[in-house]
Amino acid sequence: MNSKDLFSPLQLGPSTLTNRIVMAPMTRNRAAEGNIPQEMNRLYYEQRASAGLIITEGAQISPQGAGYPFTPGIYNDEQILGWKKITAAVHQKGGHIFIQLWHVGRISHPSLQPDNALPVAPSAIKPDGDAFTYNGPQPFVEPHALEISEINNIVDDYQQATRHALNAGFDGVEIHAANGYLIDQFLRNGSNNRTDEYGGPPENRSRFLLQVLAAVTSVCDSQRVGIRLSPLNSFNSMRDSDPMTLFSYVVQQLKPLKLAYLHVLEGSMSPLPEGDEIFDYKKLAALYDGIYMANHGYDRQSADEAIKSGTADLVSFGIPYIANPDLVERFKADAPLNAPDQASFYGGDETGYTDYPFLSS
């Protein structure tokens, strides 16, 4: 009989997680000037340290990787020092924390880029909608299609960001290859129409991702490296003509790398065109013989069922963790959850960030 449940421990590489409840990465736009993590960020993560694992909000690997105001980086000494205070606080509470490494690619704006440069992407295809800038919403621009030498430089940036993450005390790193950001833009043919070795069949479109993973695992034990994918997520104008074939290939390439986990957003953050809703996530998970982390729309009951049935090893929660720093304790007690205040999700001060009540209060 399977005795695993949400509250069972799990060995994740060198880390022993006390439960299988994961805090998902969530952009909150509350870094200090210079994209430096600050005191209220330290408190925010410390409050949530009872999670089996925290995955931080995306941290840009370079100034070029930024796409939103007040998002933290992991590319200079001041940022490393800010993160060190966060990892120390989480570890002091007995928690574990990975940093999500992020490059937004085309989901940026010249006003957010060094020297007002164009955002970069695999192809010069403009996404729909507006960028969020320090001066409010601005229409997206047509990005600069990366040259191969520029691609290699970004791979080096991922490697250097990983070194910085280890110096900052993180237990591991998560490669953000989801949600329409740079790596996902290479993977899916709705955003990649290249005709060189980075475009065309899945083998080519996966090349950048696999180069990033090779660079990252050359400086960090692969058991401390996770990856996040979102096969169907249409957020940020994303689509692929054959996602099952593409992501089955990607997962098969991940298997021999012996990564810490595969983290999959099972669905879409934006409405999908009719006919695009079909994807076999159980088949994808079965292709992967390592630790599988499920995400998107789970509650206590469905997450527990996923663990008990073996369809997932970990479940990550997003919005519930915004409003419930003690989500583990609330789940254990089967207690009501605080309601999230959507108006304070992005940007601002401690309101709607570190002031949600604990069950004990």
How many helices and strands (H and E) does the chain possess?
11, 14
Which residue spans within the chain are E strands per DSSP? Answer: 10-12, 15-17, 21-23, 53-60, 97-102, 120-121, 130-133, 136-139, 144-145, 172-176, 225-229, 261-265, 292-295, 314-317
Residue 353, both tokens: 């960030």
Q: What residue spans of the chain are helical by DSSP H? A: 39-47, 77-92, 148-167, 182-187, 202-205, 207-217, 243-254, 281-287, 300-309, 319-323, 327-333
Torsion of CA 237, 36, 153, 151, to 10 degrees: 0
Tell me the catalytic residues: 181
Residue 270 to residue 162: CA distance in whole angstroms: 30
Return the half-sphere exposure (C-beta side, CA atoms, 13 A cut-off) of residue 70.
18
* CA angle (293 as vertex; 289, 297 as ends), nearest 5: 140
Residue 15 to residue 95: CA distance in whole angstroms: 10
Radius of gyration of the chain (CA): 19
Count of residues for the chain?
361
